[in-house]
Amino acid sequence: MNTVQLECFITVAEYLNFSKASRALKITQPAVSHQIQTLEEELGVKLFSRTSKSVTLTREGSLFLPDAQLILKTALTAKERLGSHEHFISLELGCHNYMEMNLFPPVLKKLSEEFPMLRPNIHLVPFPSLLSFIENNQIHAALGIKDDQKMSLLYFKELCSVPVACVCSPEHPLAGFRALTKKQLTGNFIACSPRQIPDSIFAMQNSILVNLLPEQRFFAENVESAFAFAKAQMGYTLYPDILPAQDPDLCYIPITNLPRISFGVYCQHKHDQPVLKRFLSLISQFMKDGS
């Protein structure tokens, strides 16, 4: 596997068109096809489904895309760093969705003021993969919900303990409640893909789905899609009520008889790097002030 193969794969995945990808890469279309073919042979899977009219990612291609982006980014960053005489400070951060990503900017602003040579990077990675990147030292720290199965392998710093909330539009009938119990949840429910939410939330949404009629069930590929459906008044969804990450266009009503969620930041047990230690301190203070 080499960077040329990865660049071709990522570019074709972006355009879903081999001709456009070859123009963007400034190489011939047969060369792009050859690179994709050799990559597929090396991985032992098909990455694209091709017809005379369309190109689509296979399931394996969709799963490999974030890994390919990370590998290519790591390779290019290493090449740039080794070829530079500047002593840049790397900080690789991870999160699962854009709500979590919105917690980073105020912290990175202060951190970059203290460390002018800081060059951070943020990885948006589905749930099953993110913590593995920390274990393999590909990411320094990542936001997430506490998973007791990972506690022996990684250090977890709790940033807040929050209720699971019913998330809906202000016009939804449930929006008028200050608090809810699980039995009071009524109407269409928007479930999220298990690859995009922690196991604890997935179990909660499944306990709701089993009691609903098929016409009351909506399924979203990711959290952002679930929130978009909620804004469209198609139903409500479940999400931890992390105050600084709230969407201002939605209502969050705590569900009192569901377990609270511990939200925090994961990193290696040995986290004595000065920039990482300061990041942990700043995000802890930011979450405390925001709550």
Q: Give the start-to-end residue ranges of the domains of the chain.
A: 3-75, 86-158+267-290, 164-259
Instruction: Give pLDDT, residue 34.
Output: 93
Residue 133 contacts residue 268 (beta carbons within 8 Å): no
Average pLDDT, the chain: 90
pLDDT tens, 56-93?
999 999 999 988 998 888 887 777 666 654 678 899 99
pLDDT digits (tens, 9 = 90+) for 237-291: 999 999 999 999 999 999 999 999 999 999 988 878 899 999 999 999 999 987 6
Average pLDDT over residues 188-195: 92
**Rounded distance between C-alpha atoms, residue 270 and residue 288, angstroms:** 24
Residue 231: HSE in the Cβ half-sphere, 13 Å Cα cutoff: 10
Quick one: average pLDDT of 212-241? 95
Report the DSSP beta bridge partners of residue 115.
none
Chain CA centroid to CA 90, Å: 20
Average pLDDT over residues 91-116: 94
Question: By three-state DSSP, how is residue 74 classified?
Answer: helix
86-158+267-290 topology per CATH: D-Maltodextrin-Binding Protein; domain 2 (3.40.190)
User: Using an 8 Å Cβ cutoff, are 125 and 96 in contact?
Assistant: yes
Helix (H, G, I), strand (E, B) or coil at 26: coil
Angle 56-47-142 (CA atoms, 0-180°, nearest 5)? 100
Report the range out of 84-88, 110-114, 122-126 with the highest average pLDDT: 110-114
Q: Exposure pattern of 145-181 as b/e (b: 16+ CB <10 Å)?
A: bbbeebeeebbbeebbebbbbbbbbeebebbeeeebe
Give the single-character DSSP code of 211.
Answer: T
The fold of the 3-75 domain, in CATH, is Arc Repressor Mutant, subunit A (1.10.10)
More confident residue, 171 or 79: 171
pLDDT score recorded for residue 80: 67
pTM of whole model > 0.75? no
| pLDDT 10s digits, 205-218 | 999 999 999 999 99
pLDDT at 152: 61
Check residue 147 and give its pLDDT: 77
Residue 54 above 80 pLDDT? Answer: yes
DSSP, collapsed to helix, strand or coil, labels residue 241 as coil
CA neighbor of 39 nearest in space, from 68, 75, 15: 68
Fold matches, 86-158+267-290 and 164-259: yes
Q: What is the pLDDT of residue 135?
A: 85
| Residues in a beta bridge with 189 | 217, 236
pLDDT for the residue numbered 37: 93
Band (132; pLDDT cuts 50, 70, 90): confident
245-251 CB contacts, 8 Å cutoff, 24+ apart: 245/99, 245/100, 245/102, 245/103, 247/99, 247/167, 249/169, 250/167, 250/168, 250/169, 250/170, 251/167, 251/168, 251/169, 251/170, 251/172, 251/174, 251/175
CATH T-level topology, domain 164-259: D-Maltodextrin-Binding Protein; domain 2 (3.40.190)
Amino acid 86: pLDDT: 60
State the Cα–Cα distance between residues 159 and 274, nearest whole angstrom. 19
> What is the tens place of the pLDDT at every residue in 3-15?
899 999 999 999 9
Are 99 and 201 in contact by the 8 Å Cβ rule? The answer is no
Beta strands in the chain (DSSP E): 48-50, 55-57, 89-95, 118-124, 141-145, 155-162, 164-168, 189-192, 217-220, 237-240, 251-254, 261-267
